[in-house]
Amino acid sequence: VIRCRAAVAWAPGKLSVEEVEVAPPKAGEVRIKIVATGICHTDDHGLKGSLPNVEFPVIPGHEGAGIVESIGEGVTTVKPGDKVIPLCLPQCGECSFCQNPESNFCQKSHISEPQNLLPDKTSRFSCKGKQIHHFLWVSTFAEYTVVPEYTVAKIDAAAPLDKVCLFGCGFSTGYGAAINTAKVRPGSTCAVFGLGGVGLSVVMGCKAAGASRIIAVDINKDKFAKAKELGATDCINPRDFQKPIQEVLTEMTGQGVDYSFEAIGHADTMIAALASCNMSTGVCVMIGELDSGSEISIDPTLLLIGRTWKGTALGG
């Protein structure tokens, strides 16, 4: 058993750094020394209690990179000393989703099977004599964590862990939304709603795919310089206009963009993103998360003629 520090959420909104015990990995599991972690808005959703099926107390965090400390029986894909990224979306390789070449959404993921305990339904974390739950099987807000082997990606030994931790969710989610989910075509027009880490990664993906026009949308003008540095051709603030932003984007492009991406997580911007792509072949990708139980009302005519509305998990 390793004793180390971790940020424990005892209840919604109650987070404190504690000394925790991390048990050794069982069969098919890997114990990782976490070197670097990112902070994703999904962690905030979990801390607020607005992410479904999260159980407290819990150690949050799901963007991380580290070094394998030990492995359980039967583990073959990594060994102690390997640099790895633990992933919040597993790849068991056996379920029907994993075996479908068009899917990256394993059925063992949190939406279909809560990842509050490891697959054998026990925890490797304890604190002050109490069981602590896992978060998305990752829990990177701990100096050591234990994860199933099929949630670990081995990476190059020279990779800088403080940067590649963002591949665990944020960068992959945005970049992949453009490349894998939308499949942005060369010469197309794109609109990106929200210029946080995920939205900026969408901008990078659209540029890499060869989009001719990338319109970045945010109410914080301080983000525009970075967006342009990464490939945005236009930056607009919805508060600068008297009309809905979807009308502004339609006027800017003539008929609406070919691809739109919502990387904020608000119902009104999701509807605006859908309405801003063109009515015939436009594709809107939903990346942002709404609070658990939220509902969106849309005019079905938006979809009737040919628009496509898609969601994405970890960038497809």
pLDDT in tens, 5-19: 999 999 999 999 999
Q: Is the pLDDT of residue 102 over 90?
A: no
The Cα-based distances of 116 to 30, 100, 237, 294 in angstroms read 16, 26, 39, 22
Closest CA to 223 of 236, 204, 210: 236
Q: Is the pLDDT of residue 94 over 90?
A: yes
Q: Which amino acid is at 308?
A: T
CA atoms within 13 A on the CB side of 282: 28
pTM for this predicted structure: 0.95
Q: Is the pLDDT of residue 260 over 90?
A: yes
pLDDT at residue number 251: 97
Instruction: Return the DSSP state at 133.
Output: B
Can you read off the two tokens belonging to residue 30?
């890997």
| CATH 3.40.50.2300 is right for the domain spanning 171-311 | no
pLDDT in tens, 173-231: 999 999 999 999 999 999 999 999 999 999 999 999 999 999 999 999 999 999 999 99
Q: Minimum mean pLDDT among 119-128, 161-170, 288-297: which range?
A: 288-297
> CA-to-CA distance for 262 and 264, rounded, in angstroms?
6
Cis before 57 (ω within 30): yes
**Domain coordinates in residue numbering, the chain:** 2-168, 171-311
pLDDT in tens, 106-134: 999 998 999 999 999 999 999 999 999 99
Q: Is the pLDDT of residue 291 over 90?
A: no
Q: Give the pairing type, strands 29-38 and 283-286.
A: unpaired
Q: Which residues face 15 on adjacent strands?
A: 9
Angle in degrees, CA 53, 110, 13, rounded to 5: 45
Identify whether the C-beta of residue 140 lies closer than 8 Å to the C-beta of residue 63. Answer: yes
Q: Minimum mean pLDDT among 100-104, 178-182, 309-313: which range?
A: 100-104
Q: Just give the CATH number of 2-168.
A: 3.90.180.10
pLDDT at residue number 33: 98
